[in-house]
Structure formats: structure tokens, C-alpha cells
Structure 1
Amino acid sequence: MTSTTLDRNEGTQGAPVPGLYNLRSTGNWNATGGIIAPGRLYRSDSPARLDAAGTAALGALGIDLIIDLRSTEEVESASYEFPGIQRTGIPVELLNPTAVLTTEQTLAALYESFIDRYGPMIITALRTIARHEQGAVLVHCTAGKDRTGIVVALALLAVGTPRAEVVRDYAATHANLRGTWTKTILESLLIDATSLPNNVMEIVNGSPAHIFEALLNCLDVKHGGVAGYLRSHDFNDDDLKALRTRLVTTTSEGTS
């Protein structure tokens, strides 16, 4: 399968890895005390289908650690191993794959449930990013949309990336997934897209900005914001300092 990642990710640091549809770097965005350093943190859909060319392109980005947020069932159905790249699994089940096509839940409700249930896993992912001293980290789930989107967003918000930039990055995902990625996924399940109710289709490939704004508003109400949420799950000052050291550089360093 071929990728149009560069075209679809225009403006979001898209990277040319054949076989990935939702890959991008988080680099060159504003943060407290500088900018997010390019080439340190990537996000994507699952790389399990990468061929030799895609694998080589992934390695060429300097990625030597992958954080895999897929559930145990998802990993068992589509495993992978890349030479020279460590995989750390942090299993999270947003919604059982067998239930997603008939669920009456909304994407907004799933997100609120996710942050309520999986705080410890989110913290583990953030600490793994923060403590990886060399090379780049890739965070992914299946679509690189929900679990990945929330973990990466919380990392960026924690180090001071403006909310509007983080929401814009989240919303960019829909353009990457619609079309070939969605068609491939639904065909593998023998599902006709026209038969799916709107709430299910949004869960499959949607990333509306207002949904993520609602999640952040929920964090504001329940925890006093992202910082309060992370503290409530024992993400301490040392953790935050390590995350800043890992992700943030000065503007002059980031553009040299």
C-alpha cells in the first residue's frame, strides 16, 4: 500500500514513510522556554503493515523507540518487529474492536472515559518519552488518532505548547485517514462505509476540533487543567522537568 503522507500532512511536518497515513513530527511548535525540537517525537497510525521500504524510511527518521498503545488483542492480530527499534507496549483498549461497529457511544464520551480510566497508562507513556535520552520516539495506536492523539497532546500541553496548536494537530488527522486508510480498514472487516451510523464513522476516522476542545474543557472542570490531571496521577516536578528537557529546545537551536 502506498502513502500520500506528505500531501495529507502539509503544514504538520509530514514524513515520507510508505505505508503510513497519519505520520508526523511534533517539531517546531511553541513551548515554554523555546520550541518543540523537531525529530524527537513522532505520532502515527500502526506501522504493522510496513514493507522493507517503509521500515527503512522509519529508521531513517532516527526513530529507535516505539510506544505501542494498542490493546493486547490488536497487537496479537497485527504484530511487528523492526531491527534496531525497541517497542514498548502500553496496552490500552479504547473500545473493543468487535464492538466499535455497533456501539451507540460518541467519540466525546469515549475520550472522557479514556482519561478517567487510563491515567496510569498515560503517565507511563509520558515518562517513557521523557526518559528516552537518544534517538526519536514514535507513539502509535491503530489509527494514530484517539489514544495517540491524547497522549501526544498531553505531552505537548504539559510543556507549554499553546492549546490552539495542539487542537489543530489533532484535527489534522481526519484528512490523513479518510479515503484509502478508511477504505482499507473497512474492507478488511467486510464493512460497507455507507452502512455505518454517523457516530461509528466518527469513531473510525473522525477528529473534529470541537471534540478535543470538549475533552480539554472536561480536564479543566475535573482537574483544573492538564497540569492538575497529570499531578493527580503522580506526574511530579521531576517528570515534568525531564519531559521539557527531552522535547523543548531554544528557538535558535531548533532552527539552526
Structure 2
Amino acid sequence: MKEITRIPLEGLHNTRDLGGFETADGRKIRPRRLIRSGQLSGMTEKDKQVLTEDYGLRTDVDFRTGQERTEAPDPRLPGVAYVENPILSDQAIGITREKDSEEDMMKLLVQQMSTSEKAAEEYMAGLYRNLVMDPFSRQQYRKFFGILLDQKEGAVLWHCSAGKDRVGVGTALLLSALGVPRETILADYMMVNTFTAEVVESRLEELNERLQNPQLIDCLRELMQVQESYLISVFQAIEDGYGTMDSFLEKEMGLCAEKREQLREMYLEG
């Protein structure tokens, strides 16, 4: 398995080129074609240059809700098409970085902590399952695959707020469609914790000063980081509902054998 690294950007911490990931049949994802990321509002002028010139970015797919886009809009980049493709409706809470949602999460965790030591893990696993079981979310991920199939040249970047939940599930579906082994998919997913550690701990320090509740801070850390069990719950939900990932990709993502082969021809080499 190739070393998983981030694109060295000044203002973005969780932006990665999936190029080089190997599939089960020995092919590899083409470099500078598929880029996952957290939100882009912190990018510097140099970051813009790196993404557009060095990585050939041509399409920016925004998975965030309308409220999130309003609070931290994407910078417009020269030669890059911007596509709004929210995975959650504006009413959905819990996975976003919206202030109201964060407060709701805290209240919910306070209620749950007295009955479950794994409140945060159970909460997140439920949210992850909803990302592939909710009709709206499935529809939006299906649109994402349509965007990928329309991308004739250059790189596609997709992002949410932290680049871990909505992007994590979308990336897992894409890598599955390309034939990347689950071990690699999980390893890529877990790198979120490495790349966002500094930002997460800084945020938790701020919250701890306000909340003065170590147990709650531990729960919030679980919400802001990832665990393998979150993504495994997605695979399990798909297999319980559809039998196999291939069946889910065909029925819900619109990836018949022909389109899946087209996707692989576009994004794989070797």
C-alpha cells in the first residue's frame, strides 16, 4: 500500500490526491485526477496556484449544506467549475460544523452519556448509516458519480466541512467502485485523524474552557475524529440492505457494468 500523504498546502490540512492507490487487479488511480478535501475557505493564494496549476483542478464539488456554504463560501478559482451537491438537507444536523448543530450534539450527548459509555460512537455510526440509507443522500451521491463520469480531463475535488464524514463515505463508495481493497479504503479514511489532529485539539481546548466537562470533551473528540467502526457501519448497512457493494453501486449509484468500466478507464492506469 502506498504511503498516504496530504497535498502540502498552507491553509488546508486535509486535502489529498488519491493518485497511486492500487486496485485489487493491480491497476492504480491516476495522479492529479481525484482529490478529497475539507472546506476550502482557508486556502491561500499559493494554495489556489498549487491546486489549479500543479494539480490541474477543473471541478470543485461542494458537499455542504446551504447554511454551511453561506457561512464559509468557497473561493472561486480560475478555470474551475463550482458545483453545489449537498449530501445532507439543510435541516439535517449532527455531521456539520454549524454552531446550532454543535450545541444540539452536546445536548444529545449529555442525555446519552448517563445510559451509554459509547454514546458518541453509537451516534456517529447511526449518522453514517443514514448517509447511505437516506434517499436524499443517496440521490446526491449518485449525482456525484455523474459528475465524475462527465469529467473528461483535469482533477475533480470534493469536500464537506472537515473532509471526514460526507467526504469519507463518498470516497469509500468511489474507491469501492474503482476496485480498491477495503483495507486501503479504511487506511485512507483513518488518516483524517492524523491530518486534522492539530485543528481538532485546538478547538477542543476552546470548548473545554467554556464547558469544563472532561467527559463531554472526550465525546466531542470522538465526533471530531473518525473511527473505523463508523465507516464499517456503512459497509454493513449496504451489505444488509443490498447483499453486496456491487449491487448497491448498480441499483443506487447508477453504476451498471458499462458505466463502472467507464469510470475505471477514466481514473485508473496500468
**TM-score bucket (shorter structure):** 0.7 to 0.9
- Evaluate the alpha carbon distance shift between residue 122 and residue 24 of structure 1 in structure 2; reply closer, same or farther with a 3 A threshold: same
Measured on the aligned residues, the alpha-carbon RMSD in Å equals: 2.4
**Residue 128 in structure 1 maps to residue 141 in structure 2:** no
Tell me: CA distance 1:32–1:100, structure 2 relative to 1, closer, same or farther (3 Å).
same
Equivalent residue letter for 1:20 = L
- Does residue 266 of structure 2 align to residue 246 of structure 1? yes
2:172 equivalent in structure 1: 153
Deviation of the 1:102 alpha carbon: 2.9
Give the 5 Å matches for 1:109-188: 109-117=126-134, 118-180=137-199, 183=202
Change (3 A) 1:186 1:101: farther
Residue aligning to 1:95: 93
Mean Cα deviation higher: 133-142 or 78-87:
78-87
CA distance in 2, matches of 1:58, 1:227: 32
Matched with 1:31 is: 23
2:77 alignment counterpart: 82
Q: Which amino acid aligns with 1:140?
A: H
**What is the Cα deviation at residue 11 of structure 1?**
2.3
- Percent identity reads 22
Aligned residue pairs, count: 239
- Opposite residue 45 of structure 1, the aligned amino acid is G
Comparing 110-119 with 26-35, greater Cα deviation is found at 26-35
8 Å CA contact 1:101, 1:200 repeated in 2: no
Higher helix residue share: 2
**Runs of 4+, deviation exceeding 3 Å:** 184-188, 190-200
What is aligned with 1:56?
49
In the TM superposition, what is the alpha-carbon distance from 1:101 to its structure 2 partner?
3.4
Cα distance in 1 for partners of 2:156, 2:34 equals 5
**CA separation of 1:133/1:70 partners in 2, compared to 1, >3 Å: closer, same or farther?**
same
Q: Which has the larger radius of gyration?
A: 2
Aligned-residue offset at 1:159: 1.6
* 2-structure distance, mates of 1:72, 1:238: 34
Supply the AA of the counterpart residue of 1:71. Answer: T
**Aligned equivalent of 1:73, options 60, 67, 85:** 67
1:18 matched residue in structure 2: 10
Give the Cα–Cα distance (whole angstroms) in 2 for the partners of residues 186 and 70 of structure 1. Answer: 25
List gaps (5 residues or longer) in structure 1: 1-9, 251-256
**Contact 2:61 2:82 (8 Å CA) reproduced:** yes
Alignment partners' CA distance in 2, 1:32 and 1:48: 36
Bigger drift between 192-201 and 171-180 goes to: 192-201
| Deviation of 1:225 (Å) | 2.4
**2:248 aligned with 1:229, yes or no?**
yes
Deviations 1:31-87 (A, max 9, x none): 254111122101111111212122112212111111110111100111121122111
Task: Check conservation: 2:24, 2:181, Cα contact below 8 A.
Answer: no
Q: TM-score scaled by structure 1?
A: 0.84
Residue 13 of structure 1 contacts residue 27 of structure 1 at CA under 8 Å; is this kept in 2?
no
Aligned-partner SS, 1:73: helix
Distance 1:37 1:191 in 2: 46
CA distance in 2, matches of 1:193, 1:128: 45
| Greater Cα offset, 25-34 or 155-164 | 25-34
Structure 2 residue runs without a partner (length 5+): 109-119
